[in-house]
Amino acid sequence: ANTNTPTLYSIRMRAAQGGPHEQGGKHISGGERLVQSPDVNQAVLELMDKASNHSRGPFDFLNLIVEEIPWEELKLLPPLPVQTEQVASVEAGRDLALTLVGKCGVSPAAGKLGLQLIQSMGHVRGAVVLDAHTGERLDDRGERGVRVSRLDWRPGSYERWLDQHPGLTNPRTKEALALATKVSAAPGAVAELCWSDDPDYVTGYVAAPHLGYCRITRLKSPGEEHGGRVFFIHRSVDLDTYLTFLEQTPVWIGWED
């Protein structure tokens, strides 16, 4: 093997309680990284750390997959611009979320369905894909949802981004901004709505190609374990192309040196 060129690896982690997800276990934590060979050990440790002492509880099942990715497939995307909207209540936050997805082209009916879905999501470890016009669910992933993977910040780029956004040091923002940037770049993307399923984190966001990444400080009450992600898309887009981009295409977030 050529030892001069580092290998690119995708790393995926998912942890559950009560057995594996596919046997009905409760989703505890998931994570995905895309790093060069010298950084794999560190990334695996960080994923183990993420799943351990989790606010959703301990896991009794953890699955870790490490696989080589051809460099030729790698794409580089700059992160979406970020803004933060302070809201006084969950109701105000969800109203704002509806308004924002509406501005991006999601119908009022579809927007409401998206909100209701996330409110009732408890153990889906991925996202639900909805028709931005009708609100009909378009993916066939059932309880599993669609898991966006093969993404990470390009080495050095997150540090550069943090210099420009000194207040936003939370690793959740780091992860969610990377994910939202990839989701917004997918063919047919209209808007994404997200808040965490972790009971201790109430800030969520709406993201879209023209809107950028709009953080909303309250989208649920503390202690709430319902949370998730909805991807609104144009019905006309080919679903296989869309899902292949989210699940398979390797993406680094950031900039060339």
Contact status, residue 204 vs residue 219, Cβ threshold 8 Å: yes
Beta bridge partners, 171, equal: none
Contact status, residue 14 vs residue 124, Cβ threshold 8 Å: no
133 binds, among Mg ion, ligand WAQ, none (CB under 5 to 8 A by kind): none
Contact positions with Mg ion (CB under 5 A) in 184-223: 197-198
Report the candidate in 246, 98, 111 with the shortest Cα–Cα distance to residue 178.
Answer: 246
Report the candidate in 230, 239, 184 with the shortest Cα–Cα distance to residue 207.
Answer: 184
d(CA 94, CA 98) in angstroms, rounded, equals 6
Contact positions with ligand WAQ (CB under 6 A) in 53-92: none
User: Could you say whether residue 157 binds ligand WAQ (CB under 6 A)?
Assistant: no
How far is the CA of 103 from the CAs of 56, 81, 214, 253, in angstroms? 33, 17, 13, 25
User: Could you say whether residue 30 binds ligand WAQ (CB under 6 A)?
Assistant: yes
Select from 8, 16, 26, 29 the one that contacts Mg ion (CB under 5 A). 29
> Which window, 2-10, 15-23, 24-32, 39-47, contacts ligand WAQ (CB under 6 A)?
24-32
User: Could you say whether residue 173 binds ligand WAQ (CB under 6 A)?
Assistant: yes
Select from 117, 190, 194, 230 the one that contacts ligand WAQ (CB under 6 A). 194
Give the gyration radius of the chain's Cα atoms. 18
Binding site for ligand WAQ (CB under 6 A): 27, 30, 32, 124-127, 145-148, 170, 172-173, 176, 179, 194, 196-198, 201, 203-205, 215, 227-229
Binding site for Mg ion (CB under 5 A): 29-30, 197-198
